[in-house]
Amino acid sequence: MPELPEVETVRRGLSPAMEGRVIERVELRRADLRFPFPDDFVKRLEGSKINRLGRRAKFLMGELSSGELLTMHLGMTGRFSIQGKGFEIFEHSAGDNPKHDHVVFHMQDEVTITFNDPRRFGFMELYKEGEAEASKRFSELGPEPLSNHFSPEYLEQVLRGKSSPIKNTLLDQRIVAGLGNIYVCEALFRSGISPTRKSSTIKGKLAARLVPVIKDVIREAIDAGGSSISDFAQTDGKLGYFQHSFFVYGKEDEPCTTCAKPIERISQSGRSTFFCSSCQK
């Protein structure tokens, strides 16, 4: 599933095609994705200008001139492509069968943005002004990892008394928003912290070490265009390349780059965790 760096990469690719443009027409080619589309979805979008395309955690957030907010989640296999003057046209590959083109936004200036999602775990929602902030989906999200709010002091405070493994806790979107399995594995390795370590023990020097490493990993991944593990690609069809910088993720039995001991894989809450038991304590 795309994590924060991938969603931010998509946001940056979509912004020139969406921000400041009116949605002239919307095609819905099915009644639902993961969830049914909101009532009057097409009617509420058509004629509205997207004033700003932002991101919160793993959501794209389109602020509309109507005062409503369009939120979009990529799910596991969702991706956008752009066609139009001034944009590189991405032709569908075998993995992007046009039969999975479920939503098409026809923007002004003959720009077309298509959402393709083979597994249909993505979804789109519309919120009236002020509703999103009050909704459970967004009101319980923790701070963004690149924000000033996400600090060693904050992390130490929210981890106090938590007995769960630090890997599991960092995946809790109420603790920090947008982190996923890949980048937590990589950040814990770079920090020398075991994924099984009790969360409440991450304080003082450990918290001061972990927070900036998380920020570095996220920034590097964004700069690299995200990680293309299976389905993810940017809006112009190009792949991210941060996967070439992985130290542990997906590298079970390969030698650790630091100590040469084989990288191990364990399961935590149903997800694979990759780590070096020698370097991470």
Q: Which residue has the higher pLDDT, 95 or 280?
A: 280
pLDDT digits (tens, 9 = 90+) for 24-59: 999 999 999 999 999 999 999 999 999 999 999 999
Do 9 and 118 lie in one domain? The reply is: yes
Do 135 and 198 lie in one domain? The reply is: no
Q: Select from 276, 166, 158 the least CA-distant residue to 210.
A: 166
Confirm whether 78 is domain-assigned: yes
Annotated catalytic residue 271 = yes
Amino acid (one-letter) located at 180: G
Query: Distance between terminal CA atoms of the chain?
Result: 28
Q: How many other CB atoms are found less than 10 A from the CB of residue 32?
A: 11
Average pLDDT over every residue of 224-236: 61
Do 41 and 81 lie in one domain? The reply is: yes
Do 81 and 123 lie in one domain? The reply is: yes
User: Which domain CATH number covers 135?
Assistant: 3.20.190.10
Confirm whether 20 is domain-assigned: yes
Do 224 and 99 lie in one domain? The reply is: no
Last residue in a domain, options 89, 116, 139:
139
pLDDT at 93: 45
pLDDT at 87: 80
Annotated catalytic residue 58 = yes
pLDDT at 2: 84
Last residue in a domain, options 116, 139, 162:
139
User: Which domain CATH number covers 208?
Assistant: 1.10.8.50
Confirm whether 280 is domain-assigned: no
Do 166 and 107 lie in one domain? The reply is: no
Do 261 and 195 lie in one domain? The reply is: yes
Q: Which of 11, 58, 190, 251 is catalytic?
A: 58
Q: Which of 25, 56, 203, 271 is catalytic?
A: 271
Average pLDDT over every residue of 52-79: 96
pLDDT at 86: 80
Last residue in a domain, options 88, 108, 139:
139
Structurally, the chain folds into a number of domains equal to 2
pLDDT digits (tens, 9 = 90+) for 83-94: 998 886 554 444
Scored b (16 or more CB within 10 A) or e, 91-122 reads eeeeebeeebbbbbbbbeeebbbbbbbbebeb
Do 159 and 240 lie in one domain? The reply is: yes
Do 130 and 217 lie in one domain? The reply is: no
Confirm whether 201 is domain-assigned: yes
Do 218 and 135 lie in one domain? The reply is: no
pLDDT digits (tens, 9 = 90+) for 108-122: 999 999 999 999 999
Do 46 and 67 lie in one domain? The reply is: yes
**Region of 187 on the Ramachandran plot (φ > 0 left; ψ -120 to 50 alpha; else beta):** alpha
Measured in residues, the chain has a length of 281
Average pLDDT over every residue of 136-160: 97
What is the residue-averaged pLDDT of the chain? 92
Do 76 and 164 lie in one domain? The reply is: no
Q: What is the pTM of this model?
A: 0.89
Annotated catalytic residue 2 = yes
Say how far apart CA 171 and CA 268 lie, in whole Å: 11
pLDDT digits (tens, 9 = 90+) for 159-210: 999 999 999 999 999 999 999 999 999 999 999 999 999 999 999 999 999 9
The residue range of the domain holding 87 is 4-139
